[in-house]
Amino acid sequence: MVEILAYALASALYLGYLFTARGPVTRVARAALSVGVAAQLSDIGLRCVAGQNPVSSTPEAVALVAFLIACGTLVAGLRYKLTAAGAFSVPASLTLLVLARVVPADPGTPRFGSLGMAHVLLATLGVAVFAFAAVLAVLYLVEEGRLRRRRFDRVGREAPLATLDRLALRCVSIGFPVFTVALLTGAIWIARLGGIASPEARRPEYLIAVAAWMAFGALLVARVGAGWRGRRAAWLTLGGFGGTLLVLFFYILRYAV
Amino acid sequence: MPGGIDFLVMGLSHRTAPLVVRERLAVAPDQIIETVRGLAKLPAVREVALLSTCNRVEVYIASPDPDAAIASLRQDLAERAGAEESELGSHLYVRVDVEAVHHLFRVASSLDSQVVGEPQILGQVKQAHDSAIAAGVAGPVLGACFTGAFRIARRVRRETEIARNPVSLSSVAIDYARKIFEGFTGRTVLLVGAGKMADLAARALRGQGAELVITNRTAERAAELAARIGGRVHSFEDLAGALVRADIVIASTGARQPVLTRDLVARALRKRRGRPLFLIDIAVPRDVEAGCAELSDVFVADIDDLQKQADQHRNGRRGEADRAEAMVEGEVARFLEAYRGRRVGPTITALRGHVLSISRGEAERALSSPPLASIGERERRGVLDLAEAIAKKLLHGPQVVLKRGGADPVDGAALVATVQRLFELEVAEPAATTAAVLPAEAETDAPSADKVVGR
């Protein structure tokens, strides 16, 4: 509960920062977020002790994504002067955490096997890193829009566009291999459960996951191979992340219903 | 409040005179030395410095007779401007004594500038003083006042945010570029046209590691500019090719039609693969076609954008300026104190040394003779302390009177002389009229003791 309240407060503060670009807000927002991260960390610890590790079920994994994004926000703010990223990442964290908590814990759900847990862990990490790439992409588009519209006053003392672009690329290059292995373990898992032919294997989210993977793959080829950057790269990152997000929602939906 | 400083300033600035008047009095940099030598020959003028910038022409003078100096200077300036005294008079301002010091401090701190906080003025004030030294017309009074001015200017710069956000167009443009690029090392800056404004921004970018490429319709001017600011020339016919490689473009041609058309930029974009392109258009009429701003990954800033941003920063500086004004006030007060201290300081130090050495000598003599020779260490201390205390008590009154009276230019000198005669003090130099006013001393609050032979 504490972490939800802290994330909510931090969200409001970071959004406030985005629109006012006032320095003092930053410190309070960072403090609130730190409280949330600490609270969630102890919560995850407690759950682990109780036998529910963070990748043992869908809601736990979603909560873990929220946690990782929140941690990333703290790092980004301190290391790269990317305070404005919090305006997008912390609300995302909050939404995911709330989703994870409102979904009723279903004791009847079979626990994942070790292959399943490996898949969930990798997918979680991949989604978290992609989420950050997406946040950077949004930030890029927002800042870029402000610069284009010549709203210099609104452009705070943030990292320059080139930094946003570079870090987003770094996130995607880290996330992509992780996500690739996650897809592979997922495929093997499905094959073990019932095979490709089973109705279980014909869910739309699997197709979306593959589509998202392809989007990120295309993005990497364009960026690393052909040196593409800027606006289009940002939009492609968002597209890829939209796909992974959709997959995540399908999972939660399926779990809840 | 009279400070007893034989210092005055006469001049005109953007606040009192329009450009047409200012330019009539303005002195070219290579004429300054000759001009101050001429001014130094005026009656009652002892030391002269001339500050001539686009916003002000000011003559700083040390004179034992300010009224006479002002009169002769007024006439001289009118002659130089080719105007009647009365005509020029309404634009001229005069400040004397402390007011003049205050004025100089404000000018050097960039508080009187058209653009408050602009950094060039301090260099110009330094140049004015250096020229006066080079011409041999500077002296202790100018030295003290200008040194004080440099000091407060540096303090204001360091301790306030007056110069934090840029207000000059070229620095606003660079600030803007900083929001797009991570530093300028290895970035390519393309100068289209050879305007003066482009020059400034380009130099600054080059200083931060950017590579300059210059293109201009007339190749000779491009080559000339390239040689001057350090860059290479690219043919104007291949503007599109240059655009593909550039990161920042500074356009300042005198062309009537846009040079960077939407078509041209769009063609270059195809080969840029989303690399951001920043077009800075400082030409009037504009060089960058309006449609360019709609292109993907292209950022455009024209002179109005830069001006608007500069104005905003300027407003932000006003608040800081109030703080800076208060600092200047404080510094003037300190300066005055130090200046007065310098006049009476050596005398006070000599007086103290004289009286204290007598009292100590007498006490020690008494302690070494029979009745007191046998007393213990504690009692000895007591006697020595007593002697010193009496001497200090006696010194207090004269010191206060000297410090206060020293401020007066006429009576002060007489007072100092009287004290020196009464106590037969040998003071190294009568401070008020010589080089006792040295830069290093401006840093200390207390009168310095090491220049004094106390007796």
> What is the full per-residue pLDDT of chain B (455 aa) written as tens digits?
566 788 999 999 988 988 888 888 888 888 899 999 999 999 889 999 999 988 899 999 999 889 999 999 999 999 888 888 788 888 999 999 899 999 999 999 989 988 788 888 999 999 999 999 999 999 888 999 999 999 999 999 888 877 777 777 778 888 888 888 988 988 999 999 877 667 778 888 888 889 999 999 888 888 888 888 888 899 999 998 999 999 999 998 888 889 999 999 999 988 888 888 999 988 878 889 988 888 888 999 888 888 888 888 878 777 788 889 999 999 998 888 777 766 677 788 888 888 999 999 998 888 888 877 888 888 889 988 999 999 999 999 888 888 777 656 556 667 777 887 888 887 754 444 333 333 333 333 333 333 333 33
Instruction: Supply the pLDDT for residue B455.
Output: 34
Which residues 167-226 on chain A approach chain B with CB closer than 8 angstroms?
A: 226
CB B187 within 8 A of CB B306: no
Contacting residues of A for B310, CB less than 8 Å apart? none
Contacting residues of B for A141, CB less than 8 Å apart? none
Is the Cβ pair A232, B181 closer than 8 Å?
A: no
Check CB contact of A149 with chain B, cutoff 8 Å.
Answer: no
Contacting residues of B for A166, CB less than 8 Å apart? 182
| Distance from C-alpha of B306 to C-alpha of B171, rounded to nearest angstrom | 9
Check CB contact of B311 with chain A, cutoff 8 Å.
Answer: no
Is the Cβ pair B180, A162 closer than 8 Å?
A: yes
Statement: residue A105 has pLDDT above 70: no
Is the Cβ pair B293, A148 closer than 8 Å?
A: yes
User: Looking only at Cα atoms, what is the longest distance across chain B?
Assistant: 110
Check CB contact of A82 with chain B, cutoff 8 Å.
Answer: no
DSSP B451: T
Q: What is the pLDDT of residues A116-150, one digit of tens each?
A: 778 888 888 888 899 889 988 988 898 888 888 77
User: Looking only at Cα atoms, what is the longest distance across chain A?
Assistant: 58
Q: Does domain B7-159 have CATH number 3.30.460.30?
A: yes
Q: Give the gap in angstroms from C-alpha B296 to the nearest C-alpha of chain A.
A: 7
Model's pTM, two decimal places? 0.62
Q: Give the gap in angstroms from C-alpha A89 to the nearest C-alpha of chain B.
A: 21
Contacting residues of B for A143, CB less than 8 Å apart? 179
Is the Cβ pair B180, A230 closer than 8 Å?
A: no
CB A47 within 8 A of CB A60: yes
Facing residue for B179 by CB, picked from A147, A166, A226:
A147
Average pLDDT score over chain A: 81
Check CB contact of A81 with chain B, cutoff 8 Å.
Answer: no
Q: Give the gap in angstroms from C-alpha A73 to the nearest C-alpha of chain B.
A: 20
Least confident of A32-36, A108-112, B243-247, B256-260: A108-112
Query: Best residue in B176, B182, B272, B304 to probe A by mutation, most A CBs within 10 Å?
Result: B182
Told to judge if B54 belongs to the known catalytic residues of this protein, a careful annotator would answer: yes
| Distance from C-alpha of B42 to C-alpha of B76, rounded to nearest angstrom | 8
Establish, for the pair of chains A and B, how many residue pairs have beta carbons separated by less than 8 Å.
52
Residue by residue, DSSP assigns B129-198 as HHHHHHHT---HHHHHHHHHHHHHHHHHHHHSSTTTS--SHHHHHHHHHHTTSS-STT-EEEEES--HHH
Contacting residues of A for B276, CB less than 8 Å apart? 161-162, 229-230
Higher pLDDT, B75 or A52: B75
ipTM > 0.90 for the complex: no
Give CA separation, B294 vs B29, B250, B266, B277, in Å. 46, 18, 10, 12
Tell me which residue of B141, B117, B128 sits closest to B57, measured CA to CA: B128
Give the full edge-to-edge strand order of the sheet including B93-96: B47-52, B56-62, B7-13, B93-96
Which residue in B54, B373, B400, B422 is the catalytic one? B54
Instruction: Supply the pLDDT for residue B133.
Output: 94
Is the Cβ pair B276, A230 closer than 8 Å?
A: yes
Contacting residues of B for A231, CB less than 8 Å apart? 274, 296-297
Instruction: Supply the pLDDT for residue B12.
Output: 92
Q: Give the gap in angstroms from C-alpha A194 to the nearest C-alpha of chain B.
A: 45
Contacting residues of A for B173, CB less than 8 Å apart? none
Rounded average pLDDT over A63-83 = 84
Statement: residue A22 has pLDDT above 80: no
Residue in A with minimal Cα distance to B303: A150
Q: In percent, how much of chain A has pLDDT > 90?
A: 5
Domain residue ranges of chain A, discontinuous segments joined by + = 2-256
Query: Best residue in A140, A142, A149, A152 to probe B by mutation, most B CBs within 10 Å?
Result: A152
Both structure tokens of B48 = 């002269």
Facing residue for A160 by CB, picked from B181, B274, B309:
B181
Check CB contact of A147 with chain B, cutoff 8 Å.
Answer: yes
The letter for the amino acid at B358 is I
Q: Give the gap in angstroms from C-alpha B159 to the nearest C-alpha of chain A.
A: 19
| Distance from C-alpha of B333 to C-alpha of B318, rounded to nearest angstrom | 23
C-alpha distance across the termini of chain A, in Å: 24
Q: How many CB atoms lie within 10 A of CB B28?
A: 8
Three-state DSSP string of B62-127:
ECCCHHHHHHHHHHHHHHHHCCCHHHHHCCCEEEEHHHHHHHHHHHHCCCCCCCCCCCHHHHHHHH
Rounded average pLDDT over A181-195 = 82
Domain residue ranges of chain B, discontinuous segments joined by + = 7-159, 169-296, 344-443
Check CB contact of A160 with chain B, cutoff 8 Å.
Answer: yes
C-alpha distance across the termini of chain B, in Å: 34
Check CB contact of A153 with chain B, cutoff 8 Å.
Answer: yes
Check CB contact of B60 with chain A, cutoff 8 Å.
Answer: no
Q: Give the gap in angstroms from C-alpha A80 to the nearest C-alpha of chain B.
A: 12
CB B51 within 8 A of CB B60: yes
Q: Give the gap in angstroms from C-alpha B253 to the nearest C-alpha of chain A.
A: 22
Tell me which residue of B133, B150, B148 sits closest to B50, measured CA to CA: B133
CB A212 within 8 A of CB A247: yes
Q: Give the gap in angstroms from C-alpha B173 to the nearest C-alpha of chain A.
A: 11
Q: Does domain B169-296 have CATH number 3.40.50.720?
A: yes
Check CB contact of B335 with chain A, cutoff 8 Å.
Answer: no
| Distance from C-alpha of A241 to C-alpha of A131, rounded to nearest angstrom | 6
Residue in B with minimal Cα distance to A167: B182
Check CB contact of A231 with chain B, cutoff 8 Å.
Answer: yes
Q: φ and ψ at B117, to 5 degrees?
A: 90, 0
Instruction: Supply the pLDDT for residue B147.
Output: 92
Both structure tokens of B147 = 């040194």
Residue in B with minimal Cα distance to A147: B299
Facing residue for B274 by CB, picked from A152, A155, A233:
A233
B38 sits in which H/E element = helix B32-40
